Amino acid sequence: MAFAASVEALPDAARVLLERLAFFAPDPAPGTLFDIAVPDGAAVGDTRAALAELAARSLALPTPDRRAFTIHHLVQHAVCRRLDPAAARQRLTEALNWIDAAFSCDRR
């Protein structure tokens, strides 16, 4: 119940980011990912602000050196279960496109 309330209280950008990150591995994700343009065109600053919103609610936590962040696998699981199949497919596609952009040799 408290988890659902925390997610519902998120600004849209932070909720969408959480839904995308729910499809990542539960291993620490590099903070440099936020230097890469998000597939939907959200500005880098907006994405970092969204991550700060998640951290403020302990939905995403920075590593001790602050170079990466983690999302607990139970949070990921709960977020994925809340998504209907079409929304889950959309967020998964966005997450994959974001990772693809991070590893692309043609980054701009």
pLDDT 10s digits, 22-50: 999 889 999 888 888 776 666 656 888 89
Residue 42 lies in a domain: yes
Residue 44 pLDDT: 59
Q: What is the pTM of this model?
A: 0.86
Range of the domain at 48: 2-103
Residue 108 lies in a domain: no
Residue 25 lies in a domain: yes
Query: How far apart are alpha carbons 99 and 105 in whole angstroms?
Result: 12
Residue 23 lies in a domain: yes
For residue 3, pLDDT over 80 is answered with no
For residue 82, pLDDT over 90 is answered with yes
Band (15; pLDDT cuts 50, 70, 90):
very high
Residue 94 lies in a domain: yes
CATH of the domain at 56: 1.10.10.10
Tell me if 47 sits within 8 A of 17, measured CB to CB: yes
- Please give the tally of structural domains in the chain: 1
DSSP state of 1: -
H or E, element range at 95: helix 85-103
